[in-house]
Amino acid sequence: MTTEAPIIELKDISYFYASSKTKALDSVSLKIYPGEKIAILGANGAGKSTLFRHLNGILRPSSGQILINGQEITRKNIKQVRQTVGMVFQNPDDQILAPTVEQDVAFGPMNMGLSQEEVERRVAEALELVHMSGFEERSPHHLSGGQKKLVAIAGILAMRPRVVVLDEPTAGLDPLTASQVINMIEEMNLQLGITVILSTHDVDIVPSFAERVYVIHDGRIGAEGTPEEIFSKCDLLRNAHLRMPRIAEVFRLLQESGVDADIQITPSEARNEILRLLRMHA
């Protein structure tokens, strides 16, 4: 965490869907700092998408305050807010509208009033970043789910936002495509300094991706901390309908069998711990 001011701050946000009489968010407070990689971890129906829809002004809170770059979202600054906070929706079909990939990725930068030359430059750059160069003339609707997701991310990157919010970016993707999408998200954080916030219920992708995790359950923030802190709270995870990462479960089973192992949550830390145990017992 840095000493900089938060780029996103939520103060005591609540949201009530009148149609389903659901309090989807209940006094949610959080702070996101520039350059961070954040995971919002929660089970189905926990409130992740509702939370995200507040971050670029799609929904207005029933109560509480949202500050983007220190400013409340107003009708006047909403365009600027959406250029600061780019949103990648769960279902790429909600986002992809143009007949070709190129036109689709160009949509955002064109709406920003940029010159044709600049739009073309940004489209080429964004497609290269998501490894989709060569797909310019293809119809987005005839791409695979993973490719559609990458085109949707390119469309957001072309606007050069400071923050990218991704709602369940790996949902419905096969394991290889899911890890390619996560790698690509990490690259955009590392190379472009973009703050990344993703939501997921996939506990196995969180440890190697996130620097900080917020656990959301029934519209409330249940915990905040590093992945190590979060995944040491077994009761909290169980109450939130989540679990430990598979790797950590192996170490818990070893502990139950009497092995003096420390619980690890990433493959590389797991390897180090196993090597340590092997050396100890050699």
Ligand X SMILES: Nc1ncnc2c1ncn2[C@@H]1O[C@H](COP(=O)(O)OP(=O)(O)OP(=O)(O)O)[C@@H](O)[C@H]1O
Q: How far apart are CA 122 and CA 117, in angstroms?
A: 9
Give the nearest distance from C-beta 259 to ligand X in angstroms: 35
Figure out which of the listed residues 50, 84, 147, 170 binds ligand X, where binding follows CB under 6 A: 50
Give the nearest distance from C-beta 216 to ligand X in angstroms: 7
Residue of 127, 194, 126, 123 lying closest to 164 (CA atoms):
194
Give the nearest distance from C-beta 238 to ligand X in angstroms: 17
* Binding residues among 27-46 for ligand X as defined by CB under 6 A: 42, 44-46
> Residues 180-199 vs ligand X: string with x where CB under 6 A?
--------------------
**Residue 100 sits in the site that holds ligand X (CB under 6 A):** no
- Closest CB to ligand X among residues 24, 270: 24
Residue of 59, 58, 55 lying closest to 17 (CA atoms):
59
Collapsing DSSP to helix, strand or coil, 149 comes out as: helix
Residue of 83, 96, 94 lying closest to 49 (CA atoms):
94
**Residue 220 sits in the site that holds ligand X (CB under 6 A):** no
Give the nearest distance from C-beta 205 to ligand X in angstroms: 14
Q: How far apart are CA 150 and CA 91, in angstroms?
A: 12
Which secondary structure element, helix H or strand E, spans residue 24, and what is its range?
strand 22-32
Residues sharing a CB contact under 8 Å with residue 267, sequence separation 6 or more, in sequence order: 208, 247
**Residue 169 sits in the site that holds ligand X (CB under 6 A):** no
Figure out which of the listed residues 2, 3, 4, 19 binds ligand X, where binding follows CB under 6 A: 19
* Binding residues among 249-268 for ligand X as defined by CB under 6 A: none
Q: How far apart are CA 2 and CA 199, in angstroms?
A: 22
**Residue 222 sits in the site that holds ligand X (CB under 6 A):** no
For ligand X, the binding residues (CB under 6 A) are 17, 19-20, 22, 24, 42, 44-50, 201
